[in-house]
Structure 1
Amino acid sequence: MYIDFHIHAYADEIADRAVKKLKDTASCEAYTNGRIDDTRQKLKAWGVDYGVLLPVATKPTQQTTINNWAIAQNHGNIISFGTVHPDSEELDSELERIAGSGLHGIKLHPAYQGHFMFEPCMQRIYEKCGELGLPVILHMGYDPISTMISHAMPCDLAEMAEKYPDCKFIGAHMGGMMNWERVLHYIKDTSNIYFDTAYCANFMSDEMFMEMFRAYGEDRILFGSDLPWSDPRDEINMIDRMPISDSAKDKIFYKNAAELLKIDI
């Protein structure tokens, strides 16, 4: 079984525009057309049982509409997270609505949302999510929309996880895209930090993956692809070829995700 912990799709009316903009910004290929129906079909065709949908509100005015859409997609082979914008005046009430709606967590993208992950407005989210039991996944490390300034770095993740021990953090892209040495340096024994493999297959060496596996163990790594920007089969193949036990691979592929999401599969 496979639970892809990191996928993206967009409402039909904006999908073409969103995919084109991101393709042009990152100069990368898209493996779906960005629509949720195509995403569902591709996941099935590739043998991926579930995809965790991670929407992002880039403006405070978007969060309610985006979360309504995410709630509507939260069925079948799609497991939806919600999102909030740190500048929203309805932050607490929207997080409470998300928790009561059946959405499974919160996605934040500090670069897209215009804040560093350690700012007080972001910390309000971590504190409230800890109270509500909502995991928080953040884009970590390099991003092509902000090539000179990284809004979320491994040292920040370590600090925030220590400050908010009741909040479960998922550091996307193995805790810091293109900054994995810093992950190993800063993140030690913090048990409320998880890591996903999104977009790592073509950039992370096998040696680095194994270093991180030895540092953090089989219980804190989650298979994720970053679909449509990466083919999930690439990340599956990366994990499959690692010299680790089948039981460890099962944890990475789906068991850790199911436990974190509190779902029965």
Structure 2
Amino acid sequence: MIIDAHCHVWPDEIAAKVLGARPVGLNSVHDGTLDGLRKTLDEAGIDMALTLAVANVGRTVWRTNEFVGKVDRTRFIPFGTVHPELSIDENLRALRDNGIVGVKLHTLFQSIDFAESQTRDILVALAENDVPVISHVGSGGDEEQNRRGAPAHLRALVADIPGLRFIAAHFGGYHVLDEAEKWAVGADIHLETSWPPSMGELSRERIVGIVRRHGTDRVVYGSDWPMTDPAAEITAIKALGLTADEERGILGENLARLLRIDTTSKG
């Protein structure tokens, strides 16, 4: 079973506009819609995907969760949004009432700061309510955005939150792999493999070292769709030369176990 841990989606009427405003160098290769994602999964032989939806401001949290909460649960796993502008209770209610499975945090586009106690309070509440989290970690924006998502802050943040199921995107440090190796690798988190425009551009030897040192059972495949081609990212993982068991784990079994997905009927 293959599960993509990192697929961004938007309503049809705004997907093109949102993708058109992405930073230079992060050009989309797909359209960002649910129909487009389903077609991509079918073509790549991917069974399921986490559909990630992020509200940049507090006032759009509810409608963002309402949108992603309506996805087809046979193929998509809805990861919605919270925001520091809302109270903990408001955030939890917006997740619960829309049937959201998990949360995506984005330090580049939200006022989420790993070094602030408010972010810790949100993560504590999510852990207490058994809500898993995937977050952008590392750089990709301006100096302030990059500081908010620094791997060094992440390690301290998650260290003392019991029960937190946390996935650090981009091997725990987008564009700052040295910092990721120092602070994220070996932490009590799962690492996710996306690295747009392609993980294939990274050193094979270095990535193998990272996943083996962190533990191949705590690494999950993600593409960062629609910014990359998931089939190409799967090919890059298969080119690492891992064992068959390690490869199957990264491509889906590890995430299924983390999210408690029953795979017995999915092959």
Alpha-carbon displacement from aligned partner over 1:180-236 (angstroms, at most 9, x marks no partner): 222221236433x01111125144211221111121111110000000001112221
1:141 to 2:142 alignment: no
The AA in structure 2 aligned to 1:156 is H
Other structure's SS at 1:32 match: coil
Query: Quick check: 181-190 or 224-233, which moved more?
Result: 181-190
Output the CA distance in 2 between the equivalents of 1:120 and 1:162.
Answer: 13
Alpha-carbon displacement from aligned partner over 1:54-113 (angstroms, at most 9, x marks no partner): 111100001000001111014231111111111113x32432452465422110112211
Offset of residue 53 of structure 1: 0.8
Output the CA distance in 2 between the equivalents of 1:165 and 1:21.
Answer: 38
The AA in structure 2 aligned to 1:9 is V
1:108 to 2:105 alignment: yes
Report the counterpart of residue 84 of structure 2 in structure 1. 86
Offset of residue 251 of structure 1: 0.6
Query: Quick check: 52-61 or 209-218, which moved more?
Result: 209-218
Report the counterpart of residue 13 of structure 1 in structure 2. 13
Alpha-carbon displacement from aligned partner over 1:37-56 (angstroms, at most 9, x marks no partner): 11111111121111111111
User: RMSD across aligned C-alpha pairs, in angstroms?
Assistant: 1.8
2:167 touches 2:191 (CA, 8 Å); kept in 1?
yes
Q: Where do 1:169-248 residues align within 5 Å?
A: 169-187=166-184, 189-191=186-188, 193-199=189-195, 200-248=198-246
User: Structure 2: which 5+ runs fail to align?
Assistant: none
1:63 to 2:61 alignment: yes
Report the counterpart of residue 29 of structure 2 in structure 1. 31
Output the CA distance in 2 between the equivalents of 1:148 and 1:59.
Answer: 17
The AA in structure 1 aligned to 2:221 is F
User: TM-score, with normalisation over the residues of structure 1?
Assistant: 0.92
The AA in structure 2 aligned to 1:119 is E
Change (3 A) 1:60 1:100: closer
Offset of residue 148 of structure 1: 6.4
Other structure's SS at 1:14 match: helix
Change (3 A) 1:74 1:81: farther
Output the CA distance in 1 between the equivalents of 2:184 and 2:36.
Answer: 37
User: TM-score, with normalisation over the residues of structure 2?
Assistant: 0.91
Output the CA distance in 2 between the equivalents of 1:6 and 1:104.
Answer: 14
Change (3 A) 1:110 1:236: same
1:174 touches 1:195 (CA, 8 Å); kept in 2?
yes
Aligned length: 260
User: Structure 1: which 5+ runs fail to align?
Assistant: none
